[in-house]
Amino acid sequence: MNAIVSAPDLAGALAGPHPPVLLDVRWQLTTATAAGEPPFDGRAAYEAGHIPGAVYVDLDRELAGPPGTGGRHPLPDLGEFGAAMRRAGVSAGRPVVVYDGGQGWAAARAWWMLRWTGHPDVKVLDGGLTAWDGPLATGTTVPEPGDFTPEPGGRGLLDADGAAALARSGVLFDARAGERYRGEVEPIDPVGGHIPGAVSAPTADNVTEGGRFRSADELRDRFRELGATEGTEVGVYCGSGVSGAHEVLALAVAGIPAALYVGSWSQWSTDPTRPVATGPAPQ
């Protein structure tokens, strides 16, 4: 099953007899803003204009737990996550399409959460809202409640020890920008660098200038060159398990299964017992 859907194909599905549940997960990484500039408000952006029928999902509150020892975006309480998805109209027997403002990171986090917890049919709108040229609706959509109950799978999730082991036994991709991997800058977390053995694979290189994914063949070639050869176990981490989900999605487009270390660098870098590597080499 393809993990992404084009805007024309989504428009056709929404006009059909069995439209998918549509989730709007617009979000931006919270960093310091210019004086007097308010932080990004995903709900306000949604209410100002969204694909008709879409329901807003808050990444920070519904797709992640409170920041802490598990990182900046740890796994949410699964009971609360399930309740949020049911409020959004998600049911196990109905397809789901997720989109965000265009970057794809937040939509990929929702895709990963739903897939990991057992939903059989979830896709991300390739290019997000910027790819949509149809009408927009304002205000808020209140759907019929769904029936989805999260049932996490045994695979697809890494903890810190698992990520460290995979960096030695398989391939562990670091989806952050190269300068953060090398430790040259670190704008968010307390320490710069990367998990020893991890390979730099910025998720920004998986998309075109327009924000749409490269072809499956291009992605497959890229990941193979980086070490994801046939039979190799693959994992991904990033800053806090959001852009890393986007890389897991790109790997899925390429036909390569991968696990996500949700705590990612925001968890690893706050543990003084964890080693840190710097520079361009994995070790």
User: Would you name the residues annotated as active-site residues?
Assistant: 238
211 burial via Cβ count (<10 Å: 0-12, 13-18, 19+): middle
CB atoms within 10 A of CB 133: 8
Find the distance separating the first CA and the last CA of the chain, reported in whole Å.
36
Give how far Cα 89 sits from Cα of 23, 39, 57, 281, Å.
Answer: 9, 28, 11, 46
Tokens 């997960």 -> residue: 25
Would you list the DSSP string of 188-254? Answer: SSSS-SB-TT-EE--GGGGB-TTSPBPPHHHHHHHHHHTT--TT--EEEE-SSSSHHHHHHHHHHHT
Take residue 274 and report the two structure tokens written for it.
């964890």
The amino acid that residue 280 corresponds to is P
